[in-house]
Structure 1
Amino acid sequence: MAKRKLLLLGMFLALTGAAKAAPQPAAAPSGIQAYEEQEFIADFTKFKIGDTAPAIYQTPEYTIKQYQLRNLPAPDAGTHWTYMGENYVLINNTDGKILKVYNGDIFYHR
């Protein structure tokens, strides 16, 4: 009987130790970080951060001036927000490089 109890205690300790050693899943991003994208599709083309946006999205007609209404952070000097393929894209004014992308669902963030 004593051996049986020791065996059960040993198994219990081994299992609890293994459970503690198991990797924990990373916490899901919260706030507006939950809407950040690394790549997206617009105009049948796949884009990622660092790519150059097409010239049309670098024109004043595509510049989003009321970024606050869309829950976007203020653009840094020399950048502006545009809308490409259901995503809000922050691009550099000088070369059109894509700096940041938020999924269009950020509009509904509260």
Structure 2
Amino acid sequence: MAQEDSGLTVTKSTGRSALTCGEGMLKTRMIVAGVLLMSVASAFAADAVKPKSIDSYEVKEFHSDSKKYTIGDIVPDLYRTEQYNIKQWQIRNLPAPEAGTHWTYMGGYYVLITDAEGKVVRAMNGDIFYHR
């Protein structure tokens, strides 16, 4: 039923909205876009919660004091002193040192060296400290 009042036509509504073909297509596209966006976001979220393996911090070479070191190299005596001996390796997320070795810190890297001669056994990127 329609009324006319000052040039406007008012139609009584039944409570249902009738969509034209264009509006229906737009609504469908918006829903599909929303679903795709949520699925992509959940894929990224799944990657974000995967814990990084401690082994992924391991490096085969590193630089300290303007020198390149690799596994098997001998470090300067300074890094073999008690001052550089890392005793709290657990809070730095480092693996336990093997017998006859200890962790030291050189140029942003944690380096496992032998007690006797200071030979590099293993090296870890310093970012391992933030590993959770």
- Scaled by the length of structure 1, the TM-score of the pair is 0.72
Task: Check if 1:105 corresponds to 2:131.
Answer: no
Which position in structure 1 is the counterpart of 2:98?
76
Aligned ranges 1:1-110 → 2 under 5 Å: 30-110=52-132
- Scaled by the length of structure 2, the TM-score of the pair is 0.60
Alpha-carbon distance in structure 2 between the residues aligned to 1:107 and 1:48:
21
Q: Which runs of 4+ in 1 moved over 6 A?
A: none
Q: Structure 1: where are the runs of 5+ without partners?
A: 1-29
Which position in structure 1 is the counterpart of 2:26?
none
Alpha-carbon distance in structure 2 between the residues aligned to 1:88 and 1:44:
16
Give the 3-state SS of the residue equivalent to 2:56 in structure 1.
Answer: helix
Question: What do the CA deviations read for 1:44-88 (whole angstroms, capped 9, x no partner)?
Answer: 000000000110000111000100000001111110000000000
Which position in structure 1 is the counterpart of 2:6?
none
Equivalenced residue count is 81
Which position in structure 2 is the counterpart of 1:25?
none
Q: Structure 2: where are the runs of 5+ without partners?
A: 1-51
Give the 3-state SS of the residue equivalent to 1:52 in structure 2.
Answer: coil
Give how far 1:90 is off. Answer: 0.1
Question: What do the CA deviations read for 1:8-66 (whole angstroms, capped 9, x no partner)?
Answer: xxxxxxxxxxxxxxxxxxxxxx5111100000000000000000011000011100010
Which position in structure 2 is the counterpart of 1:3?
none
- Counterpart residue type for residue 36 of structure 1: E
Compute the RMSD of aligned alpha carbons: 0.7
